[in-house]
Amino acid sequence: MKKIVLTALLLTLSFGAFAQDDVEEKDYTSNVATLNSTIESLYTVISGDKGFKRDWDLFKHLFHENAKLIPARKSRKDELKVRYMSVDDYISTSGEWLETNGFHEREVHRTVESFGAITQVFSTYEAYKTKTDEVPFLKGINSIQLFNDGTRWWIINLLWTQETEDTPIPATYLPQED
């Protein structure tokens, strides 16, 4: 009887080991290889129509483990406020909303400043409910701080604010007509 139980246990453990080998870990190396691929991946991963499941593993991969996501806006009392979130906080507070409502954020202009291994990007965006919408329901600027460790790009912080009537986006951060 002991032999049967031991054999069953070994078989179960063996099948478990094979099952783990079959699970492929996604390779996101190309998503963080360049500054451009990192920012494009950021916009791509949060965008999608209603019901579209986001790749939160990719989202997490873009950010340094201590990164903060920081929306800046006016409170109901008309006070300017910021809210500090971890990557997991953002996913838990915004993930379901993005999937339920549909959200496509498109970069329309970018200003880049770099020194050594650090880069600051002002990325002007427009947001749409569907990919085919022609008029954005909101606009704003993402201030993205990045670090290149010699191997890949990391988003260190993402601070953003939306355009309002009181604070329109300056022409410097809008697409330039030729």
pLDDT digits (tens, 9 = 90+) for 81-126: 999 999 999 999 999 999 999 999 999 999 999 999 999 999 999 9
Q: CA 152, 96, 106, 60: dihedral to nearest 10 degrees?
A: 0
Per-residue pLDDT reduced to its tens digit, 42-87: 999 999 999 999 999 999 999 999 999 999 998 888 899 999 999 9
Share of the chain above pLDDT 70, in %: 86
Phi, psi of 6 (to 5 degrees): -65, -40
Q: Look at residue 116 in the predicted model and tell me its pLDDT.
A: 98
Q: Look at residue 3 in the predicted model and tell me its pLDDT.
A: 56
Q: Look at residue 144 in the predicted model and tell me its pLDDT.
A: 98
Share of the chain above pLDDT 90, in %: 80
Give 174's Cβ-side CA count (13 Å radius): 8
The answer to whether residues 154 and 147 touch, using CB atoms and an 8 Å cutoff, is: yes
Q: Look at residue 21 and tell me whether its pLDDT is greater than 80.
A: no
Q: Look at residue 13 and tell me whether its pLDDT is greater than 50.
A: no
Q: Look at residue 24 in the predicted model and tell me its pLDDT.
A: 63
In which band, very low, low, confident or very high, does the pLDDT at 12 lie, cut at 50, 70 and 90? very low
Is this prediction's pTM over 0.75?
yes
Average pLDDT over all residues of the chain: 89
CB atoms within 10 A of CB 124: 21
